[in-house]
Chains A and B, each alone.
Chain A
Amino acid sequence: MSLSLQSGGAASRALAPPSTARAIADQGNQMTTRPITTGTSVLGMKYRGGVMLAADTLVSYGSLAKYKNARRLLSINSRTLIGAGGEYSDLQSIADLLRGNALNDRCTADSLYEEDNNEECAGEVWSYLRAVMYQRRNRMNPLWNDVVVAGFRQNPDGTTTDSPFLGVVDKIGTAYEDDVLATGFGAYIALPLMREKYRPDMEEGEARALLEDCLRILFYRDCRALNRVQIAKVTMDGGVLVSEPYELDTYWDFKGFVTNKGEMGTDGGW
């Protein structure tokens, strides 16, 4: 990458347009090379008896805060949640895919005797998504998302484990599990805070409070974040629950936010 400034102005704008043949070829096979409408971080955390996800409801168009009530936490089946940042249309596509699979599972009985328990567990959804994401990036046409998958893992004998599942898949198919996860800007801002406060035996209320604190801090520091958020959880006996979007209270009177650090009488920030 060159650090020098690109030549600008009339000269650069006067560059010859691409040849017609090239333009048509480009149209024929378009691949995602960059995201257009994007969501930002998703946070996920295990707690006693469940997993919780949190994300704001902003979808940006570049730096423009375009859609302020977009839901980025979605239920896939009765025990699995996903949450995603990145290209919002790709998230819609992923949700259609996974929900389609879930519908198939519901409609086809694997056994003639037992019709229940056909559902994919969160671990399977996560693994499947990993295969899809990796295949897409190998075709040089990635789904531009980092997806967090939450739920419970199933034992080989069909029983659901007590321990919750939390995993993430990124846009090139890298996949891993952890007790606390954050994608996007949250991986820099929120993840250290979450790791500091996390305990495996946290109560639901504590977990929610911690996630809300992290979302609030992300709203302060991430220019693509919003204080309108959603929280979602999967519990052992209650299944999935995704909250309606709601707004976090914010406090802007911190001295650091108010006083001018530039000391030059400018509008310099904090």
Chain B
Amino acid sequence: MFRNMYDTDVTVWSPEGRLLQVEYAMESVKQGSACVALRSDTHSVIGALKRSVSELSSHQQKILEIDDHLGIGIAGLTADARTLAKWMRNECLNHKYVYGTAMPTGRLATDLADRHQRTTQTYVRRPYGVGLLLASFDKNGPHVYQTCPSGNVYECYAAAIGARSQSGRTYLEKHHETFPTCGRDDLIMHALRALVGCISGDGELTSENGSIGVVGKDERFVLIEGAELQPYLDRLELEGGNNAGGAEEEEGEGDAEEEEEKEDDVMET
């Protein structure tokens, strides 16, 4: 009953100097399905694993287009992500109206982080339970940003968030030095390979549960899903890379999380 006296409000510190509500929100990002993002010198790519609640339902959208030059991948509470996406779309439109040009991603990312942060020190509010990966191509080139419920924002060459994202991150860390010179399709393949490692147990990356977003020089943001994703999956199959649990090295942290996932909250994708 009195498991924890310090987690009933975001503004209350625990004696160890922690904000438990914020940490819980960070946990909810880890419950969401995996999402990776990476960039070359010309393109940014997001990849995500979509979940479905049951065999009879469709898969939940994981990658959202924000503007012609910008898209996000989400891990955590979808409803929170949609709120943020709506706000980001509005910001991009406002910037286009006022300046006549595309919103600089860094500015949007820091504003977004401020929004996250504000909830962590305002009572009666709760932190957004979602982590975002932003992939964009703006006047400063391609960008990948990662945001957290805590209000932190990181600009990355590559990033992975969500359940079992560690193996995806390991893949990205291992190969990131080759990314800058990658072409569009090679970058997508890297995203898919990183994703494969994030799939649980006997699962497989399919055109149903896979999702890719690409943006680049002279190319507006597009989603690649379903039939359009199939050629990339075929290429993955040829490499012999699409059997989860084997191909890439699995890092620790796995088993306990896998248990959690079985009873996953429907809200988290």
Contact = CB atoms under 8 A, between A and B. Distances in A.
Contacts of B155: 111-113
Interface in A243-259: none
A178 interface: no
Contact of A154 (B69, B101, B106, B107): B101
A117 B143 contact: no
B102 interface: yes
Interface string B138-157: 11110100000000000100
Q: Is the interface of A mostly helix, strand, loop or mixed?
A: loop
Contacts of B105: 110-111
A128 B218 CA distance: 25
A111 B106 contact: yes
Contact of B101 (A117, A118, A123): A123
Interface in A144-187: 154-158
Interface string A108-143: 111111100110110110111001000000000000
Contact of B139 (A126, A131, A156): A156
A168 B104 CA distance: 25
Nearest to A115: B140
Contacts, number: 54
Interface size grouping (class) on chain B? 20 to 34
Nearest to B109: A110
A158 B100 contact: no
A121 B139 CA distance: 11
B217 interface: yes
B152 to A, nearest CB: 13
B100 A109 contact: no
A157 B217 contact: yes
18 contacts: A110-B105, A110-B107, A111-B140, A111-B143, A112-B106, A112-B155, A113-B155, A117-B140, A120-B99, A123-B101, A124-B101, A127-B98, A128-B98, A155-B139, A156-B69, A156-B102, A158-B138, A158-B139
Interface of A: 108-114, 117-118, 120-121, 123-124, 126-128, 131, 154-158
Interface of B: 69, 97-102, 104-107, 110, 137-141, 143, 155, 217-218
